[in-house]
Amino acid sequence: MTRQRSLFEIIGPVMVGPSSSHTAGACRLGGLARAILGGTPCAARLTLHGSFAKTGRGHGTDRALVAGLLGYAPDDVRLKDALELAEGEGLAALAIDEADLGDVHPNTARLELTDAQGREWVVQGSSLGGGDVEVTLVDDFPVQLTGELPALVVVHHDQPGVVAAVTARLAADVINIAGMQVSREQRGARALMVIETDEPVPDEVAASLAALEGVAEVRRIPAV
């Protein structure tokens, strides 16, 4: 079935320009990466691929990605000054490179992020046009995360009963699952759930999920 696009999507998102793909989409991608990390990173290495690498700096892609990491929206006037504001916002170490990331969308970026506790996350994703984005990798796990719906990213141990316990806890609070992806490094090793929901998961429910046996971390991803 062909997806119907709204008039607002055709016109383009409300944003600081110049490009919905290279600017607004990049900012949304940075915002999703920030949510996966759990806040503003203290260090970040951004790798731009393809069209992002060739024309992204002229379109402000580097600034837009950083703006998203700082929690700015695509229409925030601070976006154009994000590189200068980064250190004052807590992003003390920033590197921006260009590289071939392989057979991926031309508007792709890889964000290697470190939080204040030294935990490192890798988020890779693409800007698809019109401000639409998709996160395709979280660490080494392939995912499909668009930010159109609120979501949970759950890092857990691959053992029987963990997936069932997480979904049962959501069902007990009448939280409907719109989509779910589960992957693992290997049998019995680290695994990842990405769960899209019809409504945001409350703080207390997310905390109860994090306390389940076998669950290591829970990140709530808002719709962006």
What are the extents of the domains in the chain? 14-139, 151-221
If pLDDT is split at 50, 70 and 90, which confidence band does 123 have? very high
Query: What pLDDT, on a 0 to 100 scale, did the predictor assign at position 20?
Result: 56
User: Helix axis angle, 203-210 relative to 162-172, nearest 10°?
Assistant: 160
Average pLDDT of the segment spanning 13-24: 58
Share of the chain above pLDDT 90, in %: 82
If pLDDT is split at 50, 70 and 90, which confidence band does 202 have? very high
Structure tokens at 211: 């306390």
| pLDDT tens-digit readout, 140-176 | 899 999 999 999 999 999 999 999 999 999 999 999 9
Beta bridge partner(s), residue 134: 126
> Which CATH number does the domain 14-139 belong to among 1.10.10.10, 3.30.70.360, 3.30.1330.90, 1.20.1630.10?
3.30.1330.90
Task: Yes or no: say if 137 and 194 are a contact pair by the CB < 8 Å rule.
Answer: no
Q: In what order do the strands lie in the sheet with 141-145?
A: 93-98, 43-49, 107-114, 120-129, 132-138, 141-145
Predicted confidence (pLDDT) at residue 16 exceeds the cutoff of 60: no
Give the C-alpha separation, 11 to 25, whole Å.
14
Ranking 3-7, 52-56, 161-165, 218-222 by mean pLDDT, the lowest is: 3-7
The amino acid at 188 = G
Give the C-alpha separation, 174 to 19, whole Å.
40
Query: What pLDDT, on a 0 to 100 scale, did the predictor assign at position 220?
Result: 95
Query: What pLDDT, on a 0 to 100 scale, did the predictor assign at position 19?
Result: 52
If pLDDT is split at 50, 70 and 90, which confidence band does 206 have? very high
Query: What pLDDT, on a 0 to 100 scale, did the predictor assign at position 12?
Result: 46
> Which CATH number does the domain 151-221 belong to among 3.20.20.70, 3.10.20.30, 3.30.70.260, 3.10.105.10?
3.30.70.260
